[in-house]
Structure 1
């Protein structure tokens, strides 16, 4: 039994023992809500119950003799804060982000008094943070794809194979319940977690605090798993089917065992259109997936929580092919009957212990975690070597066949401590990760012996940080921090990176915002460069393991405005410069990726966001203008030396889309506001035709998605349903043209899917 299986077994055994042992279980990605309760005469009101309620969360605190109260670990989202006592009642609407400190002054009165905590306060929700709660997620047309949720925020564009590209460069960092979900380098098509398993999703597109780092940070995506909220019991069965051979089944169950609160989710799906295809009408494009998720939360006491997350996924994807020898958009032609398949296996486990301070203003968290990821590419070698590329001048280039079995296993430990005082909110922590990679590859080249490349490598990442949200004045906050990163592997590196953010509330609800940060990104160990060199040259070519860590400087300036509780907007200008940009090219005629460095990269732009939420409606509008450029390709896949700095000409990245806009609007109606209708749109000006070689652009595109439905009512045992339509207008467009670095891909046609849910 390998190390990761031992870790998984130990975590399961620990959780099972604890279940036989009540405070509410809370998620681990949290902020603090605190304040004072006074009467109309401004005198503190002691021993009064204060409640904080949101989606699937209900917390209670009692004021002290000085009228103070605190909720130390509040999952990010929107909440109603209320107090009722002899002097009257008071309430407020608050927005909470990860590590936010939200201070509220409640004034009780015989007639309900209201105190508003702005969504964008100087120590509250960061300007570049966007959150999606469970109700909002349930109403989105593409709510079964985490990528599709992330792509609803500004600065993020949808690239081929549903990969989100944020602020000009590849690479997002994901976290689940406060534990990292490391991504591999080779192409993985399966999603990290089904958002339908989530209570909420939070996306940082800028102003990254010092606690995040070590890997590529186009954006930070935090996911809170759902279902372990206090009092939640019962389950539901969902069956769905629709166009393009789509069918799925989903089973969820929540229950308690002693103090333990347990949530289970099982999903299975299949479709005839799994990946972006090299032809307008997909051929050989079936896919299927199944995943299981378990969360057990055990409140050991009022101040201590132990929580276990376990997930297991399996996905299988046929690799779509193009059989048209004269397709001008896709010159790569496959032999009839070609049957390449990619299988993906993923397992993840984390065990988190959180202890809240006695005063409710801080906590300590310890999170050991482990992950196992395997990608098996089963190439049809005999037919793959019959594939060829039309060069446009009547000549053809033969292609190669490839099989690869790549496994990456991770083990890590995260320790953090956080405490807030009147003027400071200090957080410090350490992240330790060890990664082990094994890769077995076979390359078949016509007229030459098979090339076998078996490699293994171990690497580590260490991150240490400290940060402080200092409030020298009531309307001014300075969020300063420093992070040290160090990585080892095929190559190593280290960097000390400062981060500083200044938020100045120049008027009630209006915040001026500035940020500067230095970021470090270690290259992944899933190294396919030797295979890339062989497929593009000869089996005698020597491997070149020369990837360098990426080092970025990110600057952001903006203004945010809270118009009313639940409605805010912001405008940001950003500039990102990088050296040794980590970028990807496809490995021969496969969807596996090989990584290389651009010597320099730069992205500049501006973004706008309007976000509104109320019991009856949700609204999100995003628009981004940006210019992502890079230059100085060298090393790894490319067998030529780097250019000198003076000779580098910056050219558009293949995922550079100058204008990107998207919007969604949801309206809720009917009994209990359980029925909903959502309209969602996306507009993009098209990606470059060629990569770093000219200014030609693919045509602009416009997509419309829609959904209508009704959430199930467990109490009434009434069915729920969702009718969703992806690409309502059936607009099919080129996402990417074959450009020497990547193959051609078209977006998917219209898909109508009906899902019916039976609760119990």
Structure 2
């Protein structure tokens, strides 16, 4: 496809029906000039009776203008030379559960994405180094672990970009998840739905979108109640103490001042409350009746570990105000961003004391505000220059109130508990600027070179000038090669840096094994990527991609203690490398795809937050390379869908997905001692099925559309383990969800 300044190369592995695609890109939109959308809305159109349909003309003008501005916004941040997986609206709807499914279940269908506990995902062997964007605007990080503030229901479409990222992407670089939110033009109309099933699962939802003159808006809200809030600590069908209540809201309002200018406001909130599942059969560390709270006897017998009552609440609020301009030579978008995120853990005061020697009420919050501005200048047919800036100010607060036992020098534990209060706060800043040039050397050759300067002024002070270069070659029809190099600076996650005052716990049952607590450092990487994609037939595509990352001060995260709060730490050196194979086939109502990834992630010598680790583990990792706790050698996913009666008003869609994992890491016991992360948990494979019957424009429904849904998660009820409770920074065992039968109905309003 050619544009004013010459074309760049489109996504190769597109699924014709608009479902899942994986692509190594030289840019997935026209960026040599403005997208060439011809507007017919400026001219009156004659109807068959000779009348002038002015209303239709205005409708067409609104849709064309909105589409053109959306394309111009996407062209501000192309993924030239990177690898991108696209999830269209049809792909999301084909996934079992569709909008009702967690966001991570969609992303697990992309190559190189491995699942973990608490709803976490790992992209290309990294831990939580993931950047989320809404309509191209990056959201600052929050403290959420298993509470998903961004729901699948928010997305009209989305993409995952990995590999050698162009210079416009900074701070979090393992993967960029860009959600194109629903809006009043593309998602006009209303829908009322209900979804639910086993384990008391209930999820009502409503959405509405529309446009009024130069305004368009969209709002969606849902509530979730179930007993599967967090992964089960046992392989049983039902977890003990796992109730969850959540609600989520997203609103989107846009005003098109003129065809070249648009203002938009996107705001959302999420509130999630969880019970933490109990792990029965645990042995308490402190004999009864030693424990007392506030010097008063609590009970004479230790509580059974299956009767503990721990809770966690997570809140996220965000807002983005954007101003977009699109002119013949220059396009730009500037956004102001706000985000507040908090987490509060409430312990079982008696139980946590008995089993851990520490009962701690903990709270963390982070408030972020910032600005992001991106500009594209179409210089001529061979050069497109892009530049921009990101800057955020952040305030993180951590508070805790702990009950512990005093312990004397002989190791005698006092029966009288004491309280330890700890609090800290820190204000910091992140900033980055970039400049890059997309240079068409020839019709089949595109070079994208740029440089980015990033800085962090928080618990750590660091800055770096990072070059980014990539080359995309199209030697023949349907074939693309890409190769690239990127230098990355990854700031430590502000909200996960441990700020505990260790001296406060000296001489207590919560005293650390050591008092070494070096500050978490910024990670610096050299990243290399090479790949090839080929269109074998009109409907069949394949791709192969390889990557290698050399890291200094590799950032990892772990759960240390009862609260499900991740704490960041560094390996002095890190190596991550892997290969990904992707394929997809689509024709008519049939779509098939598959991904296979082989990855290896290792680190050596922990150099920060050392007090969280066993002294023997620290000594071993000082002299040996170890697997990262989230390292999984083989990850695979596959899926497909077929639409029966797709040319009628009652299509029936059948879809299925598969996920395979060779297993995350655990400790290995040897005659010489324990090797941290020296083994892996057993491999697993799960299958999900979805069946959707649509009834469109039925007279008995008043012309409305109804959709009936039946989903089966983990079809064969496989019992599989994600974690066994051992390994570096792993708090407890977790098992995957057992078979779940779900159903739902949605009615258009």
1:322-333 aligned at under 5 Å gives the runs 322-325=279-282
The 1:375–1:647 alpha-carbon spacing in structure 2 relative to 1, beyond 3 Å, is closer
Structure 2: 5+ residue stretches without partners? 1-26, 44-59, 285-302, 407-416, 669-674
Q: Is the 8 A contact 2:374 2:388 kept in 1?
A: yes
CA distance in 1, matches of 2:453, 2:32: 31
2:475 corresponds to: 506
1:213 corresponds to: 170
CA distance in 2, matches of 1:72, 1:566: 30
2:310 corresponds to: 340
The offset of 1:465, in angstroms, is: 0.5
The 1:46–1:722 alpha-carbon spacing in structure 2 relative to 1, beyond 3 Å, is closer
User: Does 1:32 pair with 2:30?
Assistant: yes
The 1:320–1:264 alpha-carbon spacing in structure 2 relative to 1, beyond 3 Å, is same
The offset of 1:161, in angstroms, is: 1.5
- Residues 683-741 of structure 1 deviation map (CA, whole Å, 9 limit, x = unaligned): 11112222862632211101001101034646831310221111111112111112252
- Residues 161-216 of structure 1 deviation map (CA, whole Å, 9 limit, x = unaligned): 121101111121110112212223x552111311122111100121211111123x
Q: Is the 8 A contact 1:137 1:196 kept in 2?
A: no
The correspondence for 1:441, drawn from 400, 404, 407, is: 400
> Which deviates the most, 424-433 or 559-568?
559-568
> Which deviates the most, 333-342 or 272-281?
333-342
The offset of 1:585, in angstroms, is: 1.8
2:4 corresponds to: none
Q: Say which SS state the counterpart of residue 248 (structure 1) adopts.
A: strand
1:307 corresponds to: 264
1:356 corresponds to: 326
CA distance in 1, matches of 2:34, 2:247: 48
- Residues 199-245 of structure 1 deviation map (CA, whole Å, 9 limit, x = unaligned): 11100121211111123x22110000013226x53201101110122
The 1:75–1:275 alpha-carbon spacing in structure 2 relative to 1, beyond 3 Å, is farther
> Which deviates the most, 699-708 or 618-627?
618-627
Q: Say which SS state the counterpart of residue 96 (structure 2) adopts.
A: coil
2:659 corresponds to: 682
1:738 corresponds to: 725
The correspondence for 1:376, drawn from 313, 338, 344, is: 344
Q: Is the 8 A contact 2:526 2:550 kept in 1?
A: yes
The 1:47–1:736 alpha-carbon spacing in structure 2 relative to 1, beyond 3 Å, is closer
CA distance in 2, matches of 1:46, 1:686: 53
The offset of 1:461, in angstroms, is: 0.2
The correspondence for 2:217, drawn from 242, 258, 262, is: 262
CA distance in 2, matches of 1:529, 1:579: 20
Provide the aligned length of Structure 1 versus Structure 2.
Answer: 652
The 1:726–1:532 alpha-carbon spacing in structure 2 relative to 1, beyond 3 Å, is farther
2:444 corresponds to: 475
The offset of 1:322, in angstroms, is: 0.8
CA distance in 2, matches of 1:36, 1:460: 35
The correspondence for 2:369, drawn from 407, 411, 436, is: 411
User: Does 1:747 pair with 2:717?
Assistant: no
> Which deviates the most, 633-642 or 569-578?
633-642
Q: Say which SS state the counterpart of residue 278 (structure 1) adopts.
A: coil
Q: Say which SS state the counterpart of residue 385 (structure 1) adopts.
A: helix
1:758 corresponds to: 747
Q: Is the 8 A contact 1:317 1:341 kept in 2?
A: yes
CA distance in 1, matches of 2:716, 2:341: 37
User: Does 1:450 pair with 2:409?
Assistant: no
User: Does 1:197 pair with 2:154?
Assistant: yes
User: Does 1:181 pair with 2:139?
Assistant: yes
1:90 corresponds to: none
CA distance in 1, matches of 2:216, 2:679: 56
The correspondence for 1:700, drawn from 667, 680, 683, is: 683
CA distance in 2, matches of 1:555, 1:536: 47
1:227 corresponds to: 183
Q: Is the 8 A contact 1:429 1:466 kept in 2?
A: yes
Q: Is the 8 A contact 2:479 2:533 kept in 1?
A: yes
1:15 corresponds to: none
Q: Say which SS state the counterpart of residue 135 (structure 1) adopts.
A: helix
User: Does 1:571 pair with 2:575?
Assistant: no
Q: Is the 8 A contact 1:532 1:587 kept in 2?
A: no
Q: Say which SS state the counterpart of residue 93 (structure 2) adopts.
A: helix
- Residues 132-166 of structure 1 deviation map (CA, whole Å, 9 limit, x = unaligned): 01111012014321111112111111111121101
1:263-662 aligned at under 5 Å gives the runs 263-281=218-236, 282-325=239-282, 335-357=305-327, 359=328, 362-387=330-355, 398-420=356-378, 421-447=380-406, 449-527=418-496, 529-531=498-500, 538=511, 544=517, 546-563=519-536, 567-613=540-586, 616-638=589-611, 648-662=623-637
- Residues 406-433 of structure 1 deviation map (CA, whole Å, 9 limit, x = unaligned): 1110101011101333112221000010
CA distance in 2, matches of 1:536, 1:257: 64
CA distance in 1, matches of 2:538, 2:258: 34
Structure 1: 5+ residue stretches without partners? 1-28, 39-44, 51-55, 62-69, 77-95, 101-123, 328-332, 388-397
> Which deviates the most, 563-572 or 221-230?
563-572
The 1:187–1:324 alpha-carbon spacing in structure 2 relative to 1, beyond 3 Å, is farther
CA distance in 2, matches of 1:703, 1:456: 43
Q: Say which SS state the counterpart of residue 214 (structure 1) adopts.
A: coil
CA distance in 1, matches of 2:249, 2:538: 37
TM-score by length of 1: 0.80
Q: Say which SS state the counterpart of residue 354 (structure 2) adopts.
A: coil
The 1:526–1:428 alpha-carbon spacing in structure 2 relative to 1, beyond 3 Å, is same
CA distance in 1, matches of 2:477, 2:41: 29
CA distance in 2, matches of 1:643, 1:539: 14
1:169 corresponds to: 126
Q: Is the 8 A contact 2:649 2:695 kept in 1?
A: no
The offset of 1:255, in angstroms, is: 2.3
Q: Is the 8 A contact 2:191 2:207 kept in 1?
A: yes
Q: Say which SS state the counterpart of residue 147 (structure 1) adopts.
A: helix
Q: Is the 8 A contact 1:346 1:373 kept in 2?
A: yes
Q: Is the 8 A contact 1:651 1:693 kept in 2?
A: yes
The 1:466–1:645 alpha-carbon spacing in structure 2 relative to 1, beyond 3 Å, is farther
User: Larger RCO: Structure 1 or Structure 2 (Cα < 8 Å, ≥ 6 residues apart)?
Assistant: 2
1:392 corresponds to: none
CA distance in 1, matches of 2:397, 2:601: 34
The offset of 1:444, in angstroms, is: 2.1
CA distance in 1, matches of 2:241, 2:472: 52
The offset of 1:759, in angstroms, is: 0.7
